[in-house]
Amino acid sequence: MNLEEMQQAWKELDERVTRNEILHREEVKRILNTRRENSLERLTRLEKMGLAIVLIVCIVFASAWIAQPGFHPLPGITGSVLILYGLLAQIFSLHKLGKIRRETNLENQVRHILQYKSCYNRMLLTSYPLVALFFITFLCCYGTRFNILFTSLLLAACIVADFFTFHYTHDRVKEMVSANRELRQIEEAE
């Protein structure tokens, strides 16, 4: 092999490597975009299910309050505040996820994702005292053994479900943030 043939072979190899690198980069971008969109879809689905559950609880609570003329006002008021808070929190979360979906700038999208995460944490921290206040007022007014046992089991089941929902949500948020950061690094490298 003479020098010209080696240079030509090297040039062809370099072109193939460059072409493969570009294709590989595009494939990585597609995979990261898919991962980010899947996480966003899962979070949106979770928030919609939460909104549906809160609406069902709202209907059941309102019908119980209307059907029971002897319903104490204190648990009714705290329950109403708790349900209203739940409705507003779910609507706000869905709105924030919609902002994340509409945002095209990766840095702004990461900012919105982190805002969603901090708002989610704040909503959990403020909802636990409201739930505790409702259960305390409910048990003070309706403190039979059955009600105490039933509400304790219900509260324990809700805490376990909330634990798994919390970790599921934070895992999806981590996936979205890492995918956005990797996409930003790829765009900066280009």
Domain ranges (residues) in the chain: 10-189
Residue 104 phi/psi, 5-degree rounding, is -105, -25
Instruction: Give the mean pLDDT of 66-90.
Output: 85
Q: How many residues does the chain have?
A: 190
Q: Provide the whole-model pTM.
A: 0.77
Express each pLDDT in 128-145 by its tens digit. 998 988 888 888 888 788
Quote the distance between the C-alpha of residue 167 and its chain's center: 10
How many Cα atoms sit within 13 Å of 2 on the Cβ side?
A: 1
- Do residues 68 and 22 lie in contact, with contact meaning Cβ atoms separated by under 8 Å? no
User: Residue 160: what pLDDT?
Assistant: 93
Q: Is the pLDDT of residue 84 over 90?
A: yes
Express each pLDDT in 169-179 by its tens digit. 999 999 998 88
Distance CA(62)–CA(64), nearest Å, equals 5
